Amino acid sequence: MGDGKQARSEEFQSFMVGRWPRLMRTAFLLTGEQHAAEDLVQSTLERVYVSWRKVGSADDPEAYVRRVMINLHARKHRRRLKEFLAPKDDSGLVHEVADTGDRIAQADDRSALLTALAQLPVRQREAVVLRYWEDLTETQAAEAMGCSVGTVKSNAAKGIAKLRAIPALAETVTHGGRK
C-alpha cells in the first residue's frame, strides 16, 4: 500500500511541476496579482491532491484542475474577500514573465492590458482568459466555467468588446485575438 501512495504522490508531483507555469499564468490573468495567483494555484493543487486518485485517472486531468481553479476563484470573488498582500508600489515584486509564444507578450503595453483585463467582470475575464490565452474551445471553456457554450460566447464577446473600447488596446486586441 505504501508503494501505491508513493506512486500517486510522484505522479501528482510530476503533473504539478509540468503544469505550474501554465496554471500560474491562468491564475495571474484571473486575479491580476502575483500573490493572489500563487495562492489560487496552491489552493487548487491542495484540493486536487486530496482527490488525486480520481483526478489522475480522469480523461483530462488538466481540465479538472482548471475547473477547480475557476470555481475557487469565483467563490472567493463572490464573497468579496480582498487581501492586500503587497503595497501599492509593487516595484520590488517579481512579475510574471510571459512564455515566448504567448500572444500577450506581444503587447506594447503589457501593464495596460493586464490592468484592463482586471477591470472586466469576473465571468467575462474568465471567458476571455480561457478562450484567448488558454486557447480552449468554447466547449472546454464552458466545462471549466460550469456554464453553457452560449454563456461563454456571450461573456467572451462582451469582454473583448470592452477591451477594444480602450483606445490604447484596440489594435492589440484586434490583431492579437481571434476574429
- For residue range 51-108, list pLDDT tens digits in order: 888 888 778 888 889 999 999 988 876 654 344 333 445 554 445 555 555 555 554 4
Higher pLDDT, 171 or 87: 171
pLDDT class of 173 with cuts at 50, 70, 90:
very low
Please name the residues in contact with 21: beta carbons below 8 A apart, sequence gap of 6 or more. 99
145 close to 126: Cβ distance less than 8 angstroms: yes
Instruction: Provide the CA 72 distance to its chain's centre, in angstroms.
Output: 11
Tell me the pLDDT tens digit for each residue of 106-139: 544 567 777 888 888 989 999 999 998 888 999 9
Helices 2-31, 34-50: crossing angle, 10 deg rounding: 150
All 3 cell numbers of residue 70?
A: 475557476
Residue 156 has pLDDT above 70, yes or no: yes
Higher pLDDT, 54 or 158: 158
Mean pLDDT of the chain: 79
pLDDT at 107: 45
93 close to 86: Cβ distance less than 8 angstroms: yes
Lookup result for grid cell 456571450: 154
First to last CA, the chain: 53
Residue 1 has pLDDT above 80, yes or no: no
Which of 140, 130, 149, 135 lies closest to 64 in space, CA to CA?
Answer: 140
Higher pLDDT, 172 or 62: 62
Residue 150 burial class via C-beta count within 10 angstroms: exposed 0-12, middle 13-18, buried 19 and up: exposed
Q: What percent of the chain has pLDDT over 90?
A: 35
pLDDT at 141: 93
pLDDT class of 38 with cuts at 50, 70, 90:
very high
Please name the residues in contact with 101: beta carbons below 8 A apart, sequence gap of 6 or more. none
Task: Supply the Cα-derived Rg of the chain in whole angstroms.
Answer: 17
Higher pLDDT, 44 or 111: 44
Which of 70, 162, 76, 81 lies closest to 123 in space, CA to CA?
Answer: 70
pLDDT class of 142 with cuts at 50, 70, 90:
very high
**CA–CA gap between residue 127 and residue 122 (Å, rounded):** 9
